[in-house]
Structures are given as C-alpha cells and as structure tokens.
Amino acid sequence: MSKRMASTLYPLALVISLVGLSSCKPETSNNNSGSNSGEVESMPISASEIATLKAADGQGTESIIGIFTSMVEARVQQNSVSAIVPYLQKELDARFEIKCAANCEIKEREMPHE
C-alpha cells in the first residue's frame, strides 16, 4: 500500500527531462515509426550513455525516464522523435534488463562474444 502510494505520488517532477524537445525536428509524413531505424542507427548508444544507465541502478522510475528522454534529446537534431523512441527502446531492451517498482534495477545483459 505504502509502496504503491509512494510510486503514484512520485512528483514526476521529473524527470521528464525533455530538455530541448521543444526545438526538435518536426515529424514528417514519410517516417514509419519503428521501421526507419536505419536512419537512427547512425547514432548508436554511446559508452557514456551505457555508463549513465548502469549508474542509474537503484534510482527511481522517474530518473530512468529522465535518462531516456535525454537520449532522445541527443538525437532529435538528426532524427524524428517517432523514429528515435522505438529505436532506443529496442536497443535498450536488447542491452539491459530493467525492473522497476518503487525503484529500478538495471543490469547490462551479458552479450555473447563474437
């Protein structure tokens, strides 16, 4: 009960660190959400972003949303938001295990060595 309440009342104060999204590139009609990942792949997840996510282990859900939106922000000059969001989601789910209740556990998945 208390956990649930606490989570609900999170001042998502956030978190929604949509910094700079107000100047993002407008959506265009030829963006097929999720299918134009080739455009976004030119901006792979950087080592510093991976480090930031690893360091976020144990933080609240809102913090993780904030990190995600910062990653979106870093790509909006070159890509549309509708392309970036599914791309990042897919990439992050492939690289990390995440579980959030009150706080989030984030662990990098073991990648098979080539």
Partner 1 sequence: MKKLFSFVLALVSLVSVSAKADAKFWVDDTEKIVALVANPTLNIGVVKLEVDDNYYGRLDFSLNYVYSDMNQQAQNILKNYSGYRAQRVVVERLGLYRLQIPILGLSRNVDPKPGADGPYVEDAIYLTKAQYKDVQNELAAGRPLVQIAGTMVGTVPITKPVEHVEIGNSICGSLLGDQATVSSTIARFGQVMTDALSQLDFRYDSTKQALVNDIKANCFQLASAPRVNSFADLLNLPLRVKQIGRPLYGETSKKVYERQEIPLTYEINQNGVR
- Give the residues lining the site for partner 1 (CB under 8 A): 3-5, 7-19, 21-24, 26-27, 61-62, 64-65, 68-69, 72, 76, 81-82, 85, 88-89, 92-93, 96, 98-101, 104
Least distance in Å: CB of 112 to partner 1? 20
Q: How far is the CB of 100 from partner 1 (least distance, A)?
A: 4
In sequence order, which residues have a C-beta less than 8 Å from that of residue 47 and are 6 or more positions away?
Answer: none
104: helix, coil or strand?
strand
The one-letter amino acid code at 97 reads E
Of 11 and 112, nearer to partner 1 (C-beta) is 11
Find, among 73, 56, 82, the residue nearest to 16 by Cα: 73
